[in-house]
Structure formats: C-alpha cells, structure tokens
Amino acid sequence: MSIDEDGILRWDVLDAAASQINNIPVLSRYTLRPGQKPSTAPGSTLPTQPNAHKLSSKPVIFYRDTNSWCPYCARVWLALEEKGIDYDSVLIDLYAKPEWYSSMVPTNLVPAVTLGGRQADPIVVWESKDILLALEERFPDAPRLLPADEAGRAEVLSFLDELAEAQVERAGFSFMTGGRLLGDDQQPHGAQLVEALKATFLEKLAWLESKFAARGGPYFMGADLTIADISCISFMERLAAGLPKFRGLQLRGNPDFPAVSAWLAAMEARPTYQRVRSDDQTLQLLFARMMRGSTAAADAAALAWAADAAADPGLAAARAEAALALEASRESLVAAIVAGTGICRYQANAYGATVLSVNGRPPILSPAARRAVGHQLDRVAAAVRTGVPGARADSSSACAMGAAAAAFLRARHGELLGLSRAAGAQLEEACSRVLTQTYAEAVDPMTFEPMVAPVIAAAEGGDGAAPGAGAGAGARGARAAGGGGVLAHADPAAVEAALKIQANRDVILEDIATKSGIARPTASAFGRTYASVNGAPPRLSPAVREAIDLHLRRLAGLLLTGNMGPKADAPEAAAIGAAALAFFRNRASAPRDMSATAAERFRAACDAVLMDIY
C-alpha cells in the first residue's frame, strides 16, 4: 500500500491501479468513449453515427438512450442480456437526436434495433414489445423468454395486451408525482387529488398482484422468466425507488402485496438484472429534478418521522430534549461553531479570509456567514422535530458554511450540549439528514471522463494490459500496488467508483471549488478565498485546493481499503472538506458513468467521510 506520511492514500496508488484496469472484471465490461456523452458505457458501444452497424460483426445493434434512464430501453437491454445475444450499442441523446436516426426510425423514439449485422439494409425494429418478440423469433435457440407451448405463449401475449390497457406504470407515476406526470390533465397536486391517485394505483397494483400470484410465482409464469416479467420490471424498479421517498409507500416487502414483493426480490437477485439496473438514489435524484417545487418527499419524510415517534414515547422524548437544547442554546452554538469550525479566517490565513475589519476595528465574522450558520442550526432543529430540514440556504456560499456547521455539530454536540445518549443519537441523525441535504438534490450531474487512455477496454476475461497503458505504467503499478495489492481484495464496485474519482480528480476538484461556494472572490459577502500575489490575476488559495484534494483522497481510500485515514489537522481544511463532499455526493451521476452498485458504494463512502470530518 502506498500512503503518505500521514496515512492518507496517495493518488499514485490509483494511477497504478488505472493501468491495470483490464484485470478488474467489473471494469473490463466498459467501453471508453473520450469526448462523447457518456464517456464510458457498460458493454460494447459503437460511435453514434450513420451506418454504425457496418462497424460491427455482431447480429444485433441496440439503439438506446445515453443515461440508461429510459424504461423501454431497459426492457430490451435486459432481454439481450438474458438471452445471451451478442450485441453492440449505439447511444442516442434524447435531447439532440441525430437526423439519420429520425430517418431510420419513423417514431423517432428509442429503443430500436437493427438485425442482420453488416448487411446493406438491415432489418430495423422499434417499439420495445415488437423488439422483444423479434428477438424471440430471430434467436429461438437462445434461452427462451416465451413459453414453447402455444397455450403458455398465448397467455404471455395476452398479458402484455392487458398490461398496456391497465397502465399500471402511468397510475404509479401519477401518484408519485401528484398529478405532475407529463400529459396528465389534473391540476397538481392537492391532498384530495393525491389520495385519489393513490387509490387508483393501489387498484392497478392489486390487479398485478393477482397476475403474479396466479401460478405461485415468483415470476408471471411461475418458475420461468418471460418477457412478461421483463416488460414490468423497468417501471416497477422506478416505482420501488420513488414511492417510498415521495409517498411513503413501500413496494419491496409489502405484506399487502406478497406476490409483487416476491417477484421484485426474484428479479433483483438475477445477475443479468443487476448489470442493467439503476440505483434507488439516482432514480430519486432524477425524480426530484422532474418534480421541482413538489413537497412530496418532505411530506413523506415527516409522516414517517411522526409515525416512529408515535410508536415509541422514548424516541419522542429524546427528540424533544434535543430540539429544546438546540433552541435554548442557539446563540452560544453559533459562537462555538464560528470559533471551532474553521469558517472564521483572518486576512493572513492560507485558506482565505472570511472576517471583516472596518475602520481599524477588531475583525468580525461576515454577517452573511453568521446568518448561514444560524440558518443551518434552524434546519437541524427542524429535522429533529419533524424529520424534514426545511428550506436550503439560497446561495452556494451559505451552503458551504452550513455544511461545516452541521458536520461540526454532529461531531462535537457532546461537549456543546451535554445531551442524554438517546437525545444525542437523534441529534446526530438530524445533522446527518441536514448535511446530506445541504445542497439541492436536484443538482445537475457532472460528466466524468474515461477512467484510462482513450481506448476500448478488453472483453471480459481478457488478460492483456489496456492499450495506451504502456509497460512503464504497468511496472509502476506492480511496485506501488504490489501487483494489484490495493485492488486484490477490494469490492469491484468500490474500485470502479474510486477509479472514476482518480481519473477525474482535477475536473472534480475544479468543479467543487468553483460551484460549491467554497471559492469566493474578493467582493463576496462571505469573505474571499482567492489570493492575488504581486498584481497577478487572482487564483484559488493552494491550501483550499489541498483541502479538497485531501478529502477526495480520503474518499478514495475508504472505497479501496475500508480506511479513510486521519482527519484534516486544520479546522479550516475540515470546513472545506465538509462542503466539498456534501456538494460532490449529489453532483456525481450514477447512470451516466457508473454502475448502480458503484453509485451506491460511492454515496455510502461520501456519507461515511462526511460523518468523520471533525
């Protein structure tokens, strides 16, 4: 293991690891697409250009969306994986579809496939149901997704017609969004309407329950997976992720719908599904962007928080104790946070100044910074009482200081408030909620660059080094990482996330510095973090850059080794680290460039480091 003198993982370990990318099975499935969107994609991907099929010798070319968000594309993707058909993908930007694609596909929608390899005029099929049936007809010897007997086949096809008529997914998304689904004619989204939408969805879900229960499960046809199941999972995956957050309704493990619950569990256990699925939080972030202005998530969180307290009087008492202590000590807490977090910095501080001195008087903290701390404390108090932090700060700089305040209070409340153990636990939970919701959940995702040189990764099971990762790099990797030592026993999904950070660390650092509110020019009401030396153009303080980089290395170290290393020595660096990771956890995008499991590991690691800042 290569670490620095303070026990923090060094980037050279990850640099070496990147040179060995083809020896990491989870990453060997990726195509690297420099300069394109996305920059990496699972599976073999062709350039997005006319006649892309002529570049491939494979029998199927699959045209899908760039983000892996389209549920109809997900149906075809899962069927291709289940049947084991060799295919290449072409990624279509839904917001800028090429003219050649519109000419090829009359509906101008995804998904579509071409069948026939490199022939001049391949067969083009669109609409997900038609594609699934075409694959069954074209590849009858691959694992069957339609029953061999006529009666079973007719039953599956009849179900697909009934499913289209029932519109379970439309009812579910309308309920989740409170009538905001595109094309709904209802006005969003009063309580009476939401209850009516819920009743409609539960009626549709009961119909689906009866279908899954008819043959004893776990699948529609009993023990055998068919295109009936594939046609349902893409929208049920999204509802299973969104409904608990936005409406407090669980689909997984719901005793009122045991057949649906068993079916979801069976689908989620399939290795093929695990390769194509998204993760719940990424889907929730997507829905939050679609539902900007909705109070659904806050309403559901408040109901769950209140239900827990109603069921446990001791829990309610602990929350009341914590809330009263916060409110009674608000001013002294503001002073302690200002003094201890590292957000209060004088002119000569290497991390940039946040204090003001007027007419020779002693420096005082910027009033805007003090208000940011007070606002974050109010959010913590609201989270303790209701489970919902309330409105975020209205500027990125206020969010940055608020992140430091919440991280500091979570770590130091014992010495600041002297709460009982139960009340302290509730305060920590509230601080965690506030900390991970300091920046907007609907923040636009950033686009990562490829993990290694601009080449196509070897096929799974390949044993060669990635082209472009020369012998010198491989030799350095063997020395630094012990022939893959740092990766030898690491979780592959965590390795994937760590290498994403490694390959993009400069872009990530710049993104955090310029958009999180950490970096502030001279004129900012929150103080400045830019320095100008000898009249040169202002640039970000090197100490600020190092503080961000330190916490990115702590994050990567936790992903690879389970050990994030020691905390920052300087409180100023801790404050910057809290803001950096609170911002970054919602800025990175899973379906664009990370597998679902890697995204889950990434966010869990972000949260763990956030809870260990001070």
What's at 5, amino acid-wise? E
Q: Can you name the residues that pair with 63 across neighbouring β-strands? A: 90, 112
Which domain, by its residues, includes 200?
150-296
* Cα 386 to Cα 398: distance, rounded to the nearest angstrom: 23
Tell me if 516 is assigned to some domain.
no
pLDDT of residue 254: 97
Claim to verify: residue 133 and residue 162 sit in the same structural domain: no
The 3-state DSSP class for residue 9 equals strand
Which of 22-31, 412-421, 563-572 is least confident?
Answer: 22-31
Average per-residue pLDDT for the chain: 81
Claim to verify: residue 179 and residue 256 sit in the same structural domain: yes
* Cα 585 to Cα 504: distance, rounded to the nearest angstrom: 15
> Are 278 and 233 a contacting pair, CB within 8 Å?
no
Q: Which of 394, 424, 441 is the last residue of a domain?
A: 441
pLDDT exceeds 50 at position 457: no
Kindly compute the dihedral angle of the four CA atoms of residues 37, 40, 45, 48, in this order, to the nearest 10 degrees. Answer: 10
Q: Phi/psi of residue 388, each to 5°? A: -125, 120
Question: Domain count of the chain?
Answer: 3
For residue 59, what are the contacts with CB-CB under 8 A and spacing of at least 6? Answer: 85, 86, 87, 115, 116, 117, 138, 139
> Are 9 and 556 a contacting pair, CB within 8 Å?
yes
The DSSP line for 393-441 is PSSHHHHHHHHHHHHHHHHHHHHHH---HHHHHHHHHHHHHHHHTSS-T
Of residues 454 and 140, more confidence is placed in 140
Q: Ranked by mean pLDDT, which of 130-144, 169-183, 187-201, 349-363 comes out on top?
A: 130-144
For residue 356, what are the contacts with CB-CB under 8 A and spacing of at least 6? Answer: 363, 364, 365, 366, 527
Tell me if 275 is assigned to some domain.
yes
Claim to verify: residue 323 and residue 435 sit in the same structural domain: yes
pLDDT exceeds 80 at position 528: no
The pTM for the full model equals 0.75
Question: CA neighbours within 13 Å on the CB side: how many for 508?
Answer: 28
pLDDT tens string 119-147? 767 899 999 999 999 999 999 888 999 99
* Averaged pLDDT, 562-568: 89
* Averaged pLDDT, 18-25: 56
Claim to verify: residue 189 and residue 125 sit in the same structural domain: no
3-state helix, strand and coil shares in percent for the chain, rounded to the nearest 5: 55, 5, 35
pLDDT above 70 as % of the chain: 76
* Averaged pLDDT, 504-517: 85
pLDDT above 90 as % of the chain: 48
Q: Respond yes or no on whether the N-terminal peptide bond of residue 38 is cis (omega within 30° of 0).
A: yes
Cα dihedral across residues 9, 545, 547, 444: positive or negative: negative
pLDDT exceeds 50 at position 470: no
The CATH number of residue 80's host domain is 3.40.30.10
Residue spans of alpha helices (H) in 124-257: 128-138, 150-166, 168-177, 191-213, 227-247
* Averaged pLDDT, 490-506: 81
* Cα 443 to Cα 393: distance, rounded to the nearest angstrom: 14
Which of 66-70, 232-236, 435-439, 581-585 is least confident?
Answer: 66-70
pLDDT of residue 202: 98
pLDDT of residue 291: 77
Q: What angle do CA 328, 332, 336 make, to 5 degrees?
A: 140
pLDDT tens string 252-279? 999 999 999 999 999 999 999 988 898 8
Q: Which residue has the tokens 């590292």?
A: 342
Claim to verify: residue 402 and residue 335 sit in the same structural domain: yes
